[in-house]
Structure 1
């Protein structure tokens, strides 16, 4: 079951799971000693951790649960120190460090700063200025070190994710990044989102590799991606699907806009000399996102249009027929053709 959960869920579940057996014995011992007030605090913390564990296990909502755990844990720690005094002040250290494993660094710092201010108020009259100052300084240092560590870890995680989702040759998004993008769009609550999927395939690219060698072919792919990146908008995304096949996700594009955009890309590739004294062209299949589409059906419709563009002689654009054209008795799924030139 843990293998199917995100790292955030696992961290939260493990933290709560470790807290329960760590605190429960103290609550039971204090009950046996008839220290009812402190035992109640301990058992309330245990009950709270158990409730949050069940909440995360069933709902998988870690954002709210993480805040609840940190606030609840901090309040329980402060209540225990208020009742018992400075003898259990060492519980502050694991409590504050745990916040950085659950929350963002700035959120953990904010909650811990409030906890530290409350702690100073509780211990001010019970400890000497020197002893209290030592506790404050060590807690401030721990929070600063934990914040720096958390920030650096998040940066490294972000960099690794970016590297894992980039094509090593062209620098555009790879298959993994493309799959994630499609899942995000298809999971959008607004089923009427406008987006077009353009699948581009360089025509007869195997001949380029066979005639000029793979290093030259690689350079053509790099130049091709640079050309496309200079044309697509900031809201669009470019991915290498595999080999000489690429995908553009054009956000906010309807059928007409998608067809025109694909034709612009086709014409741009045709007139650009990607390989000296050798024509390089591209075939493009286009499909607009429909409300009923999942990732597979959307991609399959665009791929079918790419196949139609290749059958027509290549160096062509074919776009999937809009639903209203089908209901009006259109001429077929490949009837929307965006100004394709003669095939080669």
Structure 2
């Protein structure tokens, strides 16, 4: 049996590794000159990718780098394979649907600078990050020039953020419903001499009743990233413990919950940002605004194949962590193996 995997990020690599362990021939296509996908722009240690190097030595594995597969090429490959797995990652960064959104620097552009690409921007002293997922936590660590002992930022990338003193991150949701993991925020709070404050107009211990189901779904994949396998109440306790009090520091991080950005306007060398927190209008000036509101879904158009086509990882749903990508991959592999038995 031959399977085509398109995309060499974590989801595609997990899928390929699992298929090979089940005696399936795999050809993996990756548009970039190296494997890793968006993982290359994370602040996780490179050692997390080392298990996948064994794939290159497997007799049933073929790797095609620098190979961008569009719909036309994919259609011409149907006769070569018994099944296709789309692991191309998300469709692209989401854009803020507000006046002045073009004034934002994209989160991916920020991340590329610490991955070795030449930065195309300079960040000012006072920064606003719109969106409060783990990508925002990684960006915050970069802006303050610290990501722990296992990761060192390139000198040219640090030069671009040397003026940063104050970072504000906004979330439309409350403390419990926001997308960051406990581990993600905890790692930020380890930054030396970092001041920390937060504001929320609602009781942070009580999410809206109609959000309870969303919170439970969020917990199912975040608990693994946090390294704790216990019930949702324990997870909530650990999260709320992160927000006990404020602290002073030479550099400052402020989290604003239940906050909607309304507009961004260039005024001189700064940006005037209008927002609402809990329905109360706020107007504040920033030197730099960064958009980190996630990614869109991959192209959902039907390929019209008679062969089975599966989507995994962020190509299927553009959120979650590597553990969720691994679970996605395993589900798809089980379906393919069942098909092989028929």
> After TM superposition, is the score higher than 0.5?
no
Of structures 1 and 2, the one with the larger relative CO (CA 8 A, separation 6+) is 2
- Comparing both structures, which one devotes a greater share of its residues to helix? 1
- TM-score normalised by L of structure 2: 0.24
- Comparing both structures, which one devotes a greater share of its residues to strand? 2
- TM-score normalised by L of structure 1: 0.24
